[in-house]
Amino acid sequence: MNAEKVAVVTGAGSGIGKAVALALAGNGYCVVLAGRRAALLEEVAAQAQASFGAGARMLCVPTDVCDPAAVESLFAQAVARFGRVDLLFNNAGRGNPPGSFLDWTPQQWRDVVDVNLNGMFYCLQQAFRTMRDQTPQGGRIINNGSISAHAPRPNSAAYTATKHAVMGLTKTAALDGRAYNVAVGQIDIGNAMTDLASRMAKGVPQANGEIAIEPLMDADIVAQSVLYMASLPLEANVLFHTVMATRMPFVGRG
């Protein structure tokens, strides 16, 4: 159990963020829930209270990660309530605009970049500052990458480009974190059952032009992987961790 540890989870109102937030709460963490929709955050906090009696260890902070001032306020509120931040699960993200990238507007492109890359940077920057200045110094950051950080899907230019960029952000932050006892890693997830991935069960375009239904795994499996990464002492780090539905089309050709 980690009763004295404090985690910030972005995108905590649904999907993988919700699963991770609840897993952390069940493992004794104080959890700061960040997301755009306050009602969803309150539902997660209520579920944590009902399941684990963890209501007093939950803090809901409605946050748009695209807004640097809002992200700064998120971490200030976390420290004001719990005293420090030991873990950031840097999770907030969005998918591609619909259809072919040939038809996307510049704003649609910017909207994906603003959440998936800029927002992730703002959160990482504030986590670094907080972890640098607290006593004892240090902490852990886990960025939510994607299998798309390694291999694209058709018509996925915005999402794939941002997730490749997140990989570079993880590597450089892992290097820069050494000076402040901050360990930075990345989890690359393939086909977890969330609203974002639910279309996989109905059939999605493959690299060879076919439409195929893809296997999915429960988001709670991802949460267990994050718990493992978070459980390590700061002298050890999982730099990249891939967890995926075993039979999804990623390893192989075609």
Query: Which active-site residues does the annotation give?
Result: 159
Q: Cis peptide before 97, with omega less than 30 degrees from 0?
A: no
Question: Which of helix, strand or coil describes residue 110?
Answer: helix
The β-bridge relationship of strands 182-190 and 139-144 is parallel
Question: Could you tell me the CA-to-CA distances from 37 to 5, 60, 106, 182 in Å, in that order?
Answer: 25, 10, 25, 29
The residue whose two tokens read 């886990």 is 142
DSSP state for residue 51 in the 8-state scheme: H
Angle of CA points 158, 173, 21, to nearest 5°: 75
